[in-house]
Amino acid sequence: MKTKVLSLLKKNYPDYVSGEEISRQLGISRTAVWKHMRKLKESGYEIEARSKVGYRLIQTPDRLYEHELTALLKASVLGKKIVYRETVGSTNELAKELAQKGAQQGTVVIAEEQTGGKGRMGRIWYSPAGQGLWFSVILRPRISPVDATKLTLVCAVAVANAVREITGLAAGIKWPNDILIDNRKAAGILTEMSAEIDKVNYMVLGIGINVNFNSKTVPADMAGIAMSLDEQTNTKISRIDLLAAVLNNLDMLYQDFTQGKFAAILSAWKEMSVTLNRWVKVVSPNTVDEGIAFDIDDEGILILMKKDGSMKRILSGDVSLR
């Protein structure tokens, strides 16, 4: 009912709607209307009440509430179920817990703040409250685990597309999981999965995007590396619009992917790549290589051309652009 009251306020925005009208349209008492207004205010909605005139929505809070997001989603798989938390250790950890208990494909776990946000290989992902998008998506693709790497690339294209759509910034992709703007990292993706030899049980795509944060106050080890989108646009960016755009893009691309259309996604990836044809250093768990990032093959694997002209396939690692 609270959401219905909100819809009426939004429908009439920026005008007033009388308490009487709300109570008539929704079939609730005037006292109930008043109580719902109080609850909306507690959730951060700024509402003006004027006697004998009615209520008027002044401002919607910068929160990633489920009902606000649902209204913007066009997705058919993603966002079927939304789990929203003010604060959480890591949305990937919570998503894995839920997936283990059978959560459906398309479940999205969103948090305003992560106290234990994770990067790859046990690294920390800085996720301050309300300043970015920290969320995870549960997927259950019918693919073999060897094809799972491709989904990180699919996700990177979705994030880059969404950033371009909402901010107009030229988001680039650095293999395999970074979204860069002006050579600094604005977003990262952490893909985790549970699989058997020939079958994926579930995958969790964790996405972190710096939207409106002050990159001057970030921890020392990130200074000069991290970038927030608003720094480039010089205006505050709507986190909920960006979240919906990522989910809508990912939903579309995921369906293409499951229908065997990875080649088209890979060429979109290559177009936005800032890695290809550059001299790079790749640090993998046991090796360090340098060379030209020659290509990404059909499996999403980086092909490095070394100084002596030999080619090396690299499945995972950290790339630095030289």
For residue 121, the 8-state DSSP code is G
Q: Does the footprint of ligand BT5 cover residue 90 (CB under 6 A)?
A: yes
Q: Does the footprint of ligand BT5 cover residue 291 (CB under 6 A)?
A: no
Q: How far is Cα 132 from Cα 144, in angstroms, rounded to an integer?
A: 33
Query: Binder to ligand BT5 among 40, 65, 84, 92 (CB under 6 A)?
Result: 92
Query: Binder to ligand BT5 among 15, 48, 221, 290 (CB under 6 A)?
Result: 221
Q: Does the footprint of ligand BT5 cover residue 172 (CB under 6 A)?
A: no
Q: Which of 200, 98, 97 is nearest to 149 (CA)?
A: 200
Q: Which is nearer to ligand BT5, 17 or 94 (CB)?
A: 94
Q: Does the footprint of ligand BT5 cover residue 280 (CB under 6 A)?
A: no
Q: Which residues pair with 197 in a beta bridge?
A: none
Query: Binder to ligand BT5 among 60, 107, 167, 177 (CB under 6 A)?
Result: 177
Two structure tokens written together for 32? 């109930």
156: left (phi over 0), alpha (psi -120 to 50) or beta: alpha
Q: Which is nearer to ligand BT5, 22 or 109 (CB)?
A: 109
Two structure tokens written together for 33? 């209307």
Q: Which is nearer to ligand BT5, 36 or 185 (CB)?
A: 185
Query: Binder to ligand BT5 among 151, 156, 169, 226 (CB under 6 A)?
Result: 226
Q: Which of 125, 131, 187, 182 is nearest to 156 (CA)?
A: 187
Query: Binder to ligand BT5 among 65, 125, 254, 262 (CB under 6 A)?
Result: 125
Query: Rounded to the nearest 5°, which phi and psi values hold at 298?
Result: -65, -10
Shortest gap between Cβ of 243 and ligand BT5 (angstroms)?
12
Q: Strand 132-139 relative to strand 199-210: parallel, antiparallel, unpaired? A: antiparallel
Q: Does the footprint of ligand BT5 cover residue 246 (CB under 6 A)?
A: no
Q: Does the footprint of ligand BT5 cover residue 118 (CB under 6 A)?
A: yes
